[in-house]
Structure 1
């Protein structure tokens, strides 16, 4: 079960924009990450590579945790809001729930739940 301090450090890293680094620091080596009910990505290195790939397409990313964070034993649920400004000038705004299973102080399994329609980039509003 993760400590409150560990969960808060994880959230802080993501809110700082250190997405790939958060994967390196807080996920088990053989962790799984799944988007909605799609096939999971397995392994910390695949999570880091995926984050770097997404971030390479972005001019900026804003990440914000919406509280409260729900914790029960080794399960944690975090509500996130993300805003991606892409290199082509479009934006993507997403709200998602991250359902995590922790092993001690690291995330072993994570599933994201969100409306896939949010992933479609759009022109920014004035």
Structure 2
């Protein structure tokens, strides 16, 4: 189940929530296929101005930061290089398309690998 968390300044996010959820879901579907639409989970964290810090100081402007939880097995596939590149590109494009192309070069995407057996749903470990 793909999980994406987008941390965005509240001022950038406000009014763009539905469009960003839709765009990030489409990015997941573009990479994994239509089956992923029903299991993609998108979290939007709006950060108030002054609560984002860079270089040791709070800032009123910051680039969006995306964390994409992905199964560790994705990095061991024969096509893992292509998969990772496509994930990063489609997610970056989705965010830039919704929040503005001027942000493209500053958007960060972090792929976080989850080993098999380290995800649980309803208190039960999911091995697949």
Which of the pair has more CA radius of gyration? Answer: 2
TM-score (norm 1): 0.34
Relative CO higher for 1 or 2, CA cutoff 8 Å, sep ≥ 6? 2
The TM-score with structure 2 as length reference comes to 0.34
